[in-house]
Amino acid sequence: MLEAIGVPSIDALFEPVPAAVRLQRELDLPPALSEPDLTAHLGALAGQNADPSTHAVFLGAGAYRHFAPSFIDQLLLRSEFYTAYTPYQPEIAQGTLQAIFEFQTLVSELMGTDLANASMYDGSTAMTEAAMMACRLTKRDRIVVARSVHPHYREVLDTYAKNLGLSIVEVGYLPDGTLDVGALADAAKGAAGVVFQYPNFFGVIEDPRKAVEVARAAGALSVAVVAEPVAMGLLAPPGSLGVDIVAAELQAFGVPLGYGGPYCGVIAASEKCMRQMPGRFVGMATDTEGRTGFVLTLATREQHIRREKATSNICTNSGLMALAATMFMAAYGKEGLPELARLNFDKAHYAEAAIRKAGAKAGVTLRFVAPFFNEFVIGGLGDGAAVQKRLLGSGIIAGLPLERYYPELRDSLLVCVTELNRAEEIDRLAEALAG
Sites for another protein among residues 374-403 (CB under 8 A): 388-389, 392, 397, 400
Q: Which of 352, 103, 384 lies closest to 250 in space, CA to CA?
A: 103
Q: Which parts of 156-215 interact with another protein (CB under 8 A)?
A: 156, 158-160, 162-165, 205, 207-209
Q: Strand order in 265-269's β-sheet?
A: 115-116, 265-269, 245-249, 221-226, 193-197, 142-146, 167-171
CA–CA gap between residue 104 and residue 213 (Å, rounded): 27
Q: How many CB atoms lie within 10 A of CB 406?
A: 18
Of 63 and 171, which CB lies nearer to another protein in the complex structure?
63
Query: Taking each helix axis from N to C terminus, what angle separates 208-218 and 181-188, rounded to the nearest 10 degrees?
Result: 20
According to CB under 8 A, which one of 39, 176, 217, 360 is a site residue for another protein? 39
Of 189 and 369, which CB lies nearer to another protein in the complex structure?
369
Contact 402, 377 (CB under 8 A): yes
According to CB under 8 A, which one of 309, 361, 407, 408 is a site residue for another protein? 309
Encode 195-231: b = buried (16+ Cβ within 10 Å), e = exposed. bbbbbbbbbbbbbbebbbbbbeebebbbbbbbbbbbb
Contact characters 316-335, another protein, x per CB under 8 A: xxxxxxxx---x-xxxxxxx
Q: Check residue 359 for interaction with another protein (CB under 8 A).
A: no
Minimum distance of another protein from residue 186's CB (angstroms): 23
Minimum distance of another protein from residue 51's CB (angstroms): 4
Phi-psi region at 379: left, alpha or beta (left = phi > 0; alpha = psi -120 to 50)? beta
Q: Check residue 360 for interaction with another protein (CB under 8 A).
A: no
CA–CA gap between residue 364 and residue 352 (Å, rounded): 11
Supply angle C-alpha 66, 68, 74, rounded to 5: 155
Given the rule CB under 8 A, which of 38-46, 138-146, 189-197, 360-368 is the region that contacts another protein? 38-46
Minimum distance of another protein from residue 91's CB (angstroms): 4
Contact 373, 344 (CB under 8 A): yes
Contact 344, 418 (CB under 8 A): yes
Minimum distance of another protein from residue 189's CB (angstroms): 25
Q: Check residue 408 for interaction with another protein (CB under 8 A).
A: no
Minimum distance of another protein from residue 235's CB (angstroms): 5
Of 90 and 380, which CB lies nearer to another protein in the complex structure?
90
According to CB under 8 A, which one of 168, 169, 174, 285 is a site residue for another protein? 285
Given the rule CB under 8 A, which of 19-27, 135-143, 186-194, 357-365 is the region that contacts another protein? 19-27
Q: Check residue 272 for interaction with another protein (CB under 8 A).
A: no
Minimum distance of another protein from residue 118's CB (angstroms): 7
Q: Which parts of 41-100 interact with another protein (CB under 8 A)?
A: 41-53, 55, 57, 59, 61-63, 65, 67, 69, 71, 73, 75, 77-96, 98-100
Of 186 and 299, which CB lies nearer to another protein in the complex structure?
299
Q: Strand order in 413-416's β-sheet?
A: 365-366, 375-379, 413-416, 400-401
Contact 106, 324 (CB under 8 A): no
Q: Check residue 369 for interaction with another protein (CB under 8 A).
A: no
Q: Which parts of 226-255 interact with another protein (CB under 8 A)?
A: 232-237, 241, 249
Of 6 and 407, which CB lies nearer to another protein in the complex structure?
6
Minimum distance of another protein from residue 73's CB (angstroms): 7
Residue 262, preceding peptide bond in cis (omega within 30° of 0): yes
Given the rule CB under 8 A, which of 37-45, 135-143, 169-177, 359-367 is the region that contacts another protein? 37-45
Of 170 and 339, which CB lies nearer to another protein in the complex structure?
339
Contact 116, 108 (CB under 8 A): yes
Residues binding another protein: what is the number (CB under 8 A)? 199
CA–CA gap between residue 214 and residue 182 (Å, rounded): 9
Contact 278, 126 (CB under 8 A): no
According to CB under 8 A, which one of 189, 217, 315, 435 is a site residue for another protein? 315
Q: Which parts of 124-143 interact with another protein (CB under 8 A)?
A: 124-125
